[in-house]
Structure 1
Amino acid sequence: MARRPGRPRASGDPDGERDTRRDVLDAAAALFCTVGFTSTSTRAIADAAGVRQASIYHHFAGKDAILLELLLGTVRPSLELADALAAGAEPAAARLWTLVHADVGLLCAGPVNLGVLYVLPEVAGEQFAEFHALRSRLRARYSELATAAGDGDDRGELALGLVESVILRRRDTPDVDVAAVQDAVADGVLRLVGCTPAEIARARAVPVTLTV
C-alpha cells in the first residue's frame, strides 16, 4: 500500500475505495513536486496512480481539489497539535519546543516534500482559502506560545518561518538528519523568542502531556 505524502495524516482509513483516493494523492504529490502543477494533467495522475481517469473524478472535482487536499494535509495535523498544546498546563516554553520539534518532524516526513507547493502561484487563488485559513490559525497558535514563552513580544511569524525553513533545507539536502534538525530548530525558536540557555534546557526536559 502506498504511503501518503507530506505530513502524516490520521490513521484508520478504511480499505477499498479509500485506497484509490490515497493512490491518487500520492501520484499527484509526486508529479506536482517534480513536473509542476500546471504541467500535470489528470490523465498523467491517473496513469501514475494506476487508476482510470474517471476514478479521479469520483473522489475529486479536479486538479485544484487534489492540490487543496494535499495542502490541507500539511497543516491540519500541526494545527491539531497546536490546539492541544494551547490547553496544556506545562510551561509555555516547553509546549512551544514540543510543537516546533513535532512540526519539523512532520514537514520532513513522507517521501515527497509537499511544503514546496506553498510557493505555487496557483495557491494564491480563492479556491485554496481553506488552506490559508488553517495556516493562519496555526500562525496564531505559534504567536500565542511564542509570546507566553519569551519576552512578551509577538514573534510567532518569525517562529513559524524558522520552522518552515526546513522545507527548503529538505529540498537542498534530501538526506537531512531529521532528528538533529528537529532539535536545532526547536532550540532556535526558543532563542528567537528570548529564552535563555537554561530555560531552553528546562523546556527540553519537561514532559508534555497532551489531553485528547
Structure 2
Amino acid sequence: MSTTTGRRVGRPRATQRPDSGMSARDELLLAAAELFTTSGYAATTTRLVAESAGMRQATMYHYFSGKEDLLAELLESTVAPSLTLALRLLADDARPAEERLWELCRADVELLCGGRHNLGALYLLPEVRGERFTSFHRVRADLKAAYGKLLAATAAGGALDRGERVLRTDLVFGLIEGVILVHRSDPARPLGAFAGATADAALRIVGCSPTGPCP
C-alpha cells in the first residue's frame, strides 16, 4: 500500500507508544538489535521483535521478510559507513598514508563500539555464512581491501613483501573488529581514548610508530 508521496505505509501498531521520532523500520531494527544481542539470535522470534517495537507481527513483515533480513541489515550497518570513509581516505593522497590509516582505524572502532548494542558479536553466528549475507560479506571484504591499500601506501607497509602485507592487513583488520570484546569488558571506558589507542596499536602492527609520522 502506498500514499501519493510514494512512502510505504505500515499497518496499525499493536500498542500505542510515545512517538520516538524514528521510522517503523528503524524501530524494528533497534528492537532486533537489542534482542539479538541480549536474548540471542536463535531465541528471538519475529513476533518478539514486533512486540518489542510495539507492532503487530504482520506489520514487521511489511518491512522485513524475516529474521535474516533484520540481521543482514544490522550487520551491513557496521561496515558500510567505514567503507565510505575508507574510499574517501584512499582518494585523499595529499595526506600521509599513515595519518589516513590511523583515522580509518579510529573511526571504525568508534562505529563498532559506539552503538547501543554490540552488533559485532553477531559476526560469529553460523547463520551469517548463508547466501542472504552475501552483500554484508562483500562490503566487509571491500573494507578490508581498503585497509590493505592504505597499509601498502605507508612507508613501512610499502617496504614489506606481498605476503607480509597480507598478514599485517589481516592482523590490523582483526584487531579493529576484535576490540568489540575488549570494549565489552569495560563499556564505561572513554570511547575516544580507546579508539585512539587502538589506532596507535594498529600502526605499530604495520611498523609505523604513532609518535613518528602518524597522528
The TM-score with structure 1 as length reference comes to 0.84
C-alpha separation between the residues in 2 aligned to 1:196 and 1:26? 39
Q: Is the 8 A contact 1:46 1:52 kept in 2?
A: yes
Q: Deviations over 1:40-60 (max 9, x none)?
A: 000000110111111111111
Q: CA deviation at 1:34?
A: 1.0
Q: Is the 8 A contact 2:208 2:214 kept in 1?
A: no
Unaligned runs of 5+ in 1: 1-13, 205-212
Q: Does 1:101 align with 2:114?
A: no
Query: Per the alignment, do residues 58 and 137 of structure 1 end up closer, same or farther by CA in structure 2, a change over 3 Å counting?
Result: same
Q: CA deviation at 1:197?
A: 4.8
Corresponding residue for residue 65 of structure 2: 61
Which one of 135, 141, 146 corresponds to residue 141 of structure 1?
Answer: 146
C-alpha separation between the residues in 2 aligned to 1:198 and 1:70? 36
Which AA in structure 2 matches 1:103? D
Q: Which has the higher contact order (CA 8 A, sep 6+)?
A: 1
Which one of 64, 71, 77 corresponds to residue 81 of structure 2?
Answer: 77
Q: Is the 8 A contact 1:92 1:148 kept in 2?
A: yes
The TM-score with structure 2 as length reference comes to 0.83
Q: Is the 8 A contact 1:78 1:103 kept in 2?
A: yes
Query: Per the alignment, do residues 122 and 74 of structure 1 end up closer, same or farther by CA in structure 2, a change over 3 Å counting?
Result: same
Aligned counterparts, 1:37-186, within 5 A:
37-88=41-92, 89-149=94-154, 150-152=156-158, 153=160, 154=165, 155-186=168-199
Q: Does 1:203 align with 2:214?
A: yes
Q: CA deviation at 1:198?
A: 4.1
Aligned counterparts, 1:17-36, within 5 A:
19-36=23-40
C-alpha separation between the residues in 2 aligned to 1:163 and 1:73? 16
C-alpha separation between the residues in 2 aligned to 1:112 and 1:189? 24
- Highest CA radius of gyration, 1 or 2? 2
Q: Is the 8 A contact 2:37 2:118 kept in 1?
A: yes
Aligned length: 189
Which one of 185, 194, 199 corresponds to residue 207 of structure 2?
Answer: 194
Report the 3-state secondary structure (helix = DSSP H, G, I; strand = E; otherwise coil) of the residue aligned with 2:42.
coil
- C-alpha RMSD of the superposition: 1.8
Q: CA deviation at 1:203?
A: 2.3
Q: CA deviation at 1:177?
A: 2.1
